[in-house]
Amino acid sequence: MPVEDNGVGFDPVALGEEGSRLKNLESRMAYLVGRADFDVAPRQGTAVAQGLPLVMCSLVKFLDQIVAYRVNV
């Protein structure tokens, strides 16, 4: 699922602690056997591409349904 803009972009190295959100997204996607790729540069906008294998998408959807059922019971 790609997301992009043509905004001001940013320097990921200069983010410091603020960059932890990007690392968090990457680690969550890796945990699900997926990936998150960032294409970013100052004054160039930002593009983020995320992807999960179809099997993992189905598993996540199934687990969400189980959680929703348990909450409603």
The strand order across the sheet containing 35-40 reads 2-5, 46-51, 35-40
Domain count, the chain: 1
Residues contacting 9, CB < 8 A, separation 6+: 40, 41, 42, 43, 44, 45, 46
Query: Domain span at residue 8?
Result: 2-72
CATH code, domain carrying 68: 3.30.565.10
pTM of this structure = 0.55
Q: Render pLDDT for 15-71 as a digit per residue (tens, 0 to 9).
A: 777 677 888 888 888 887 888 888 888 888 889 888 877 777 788 888 888 888 777
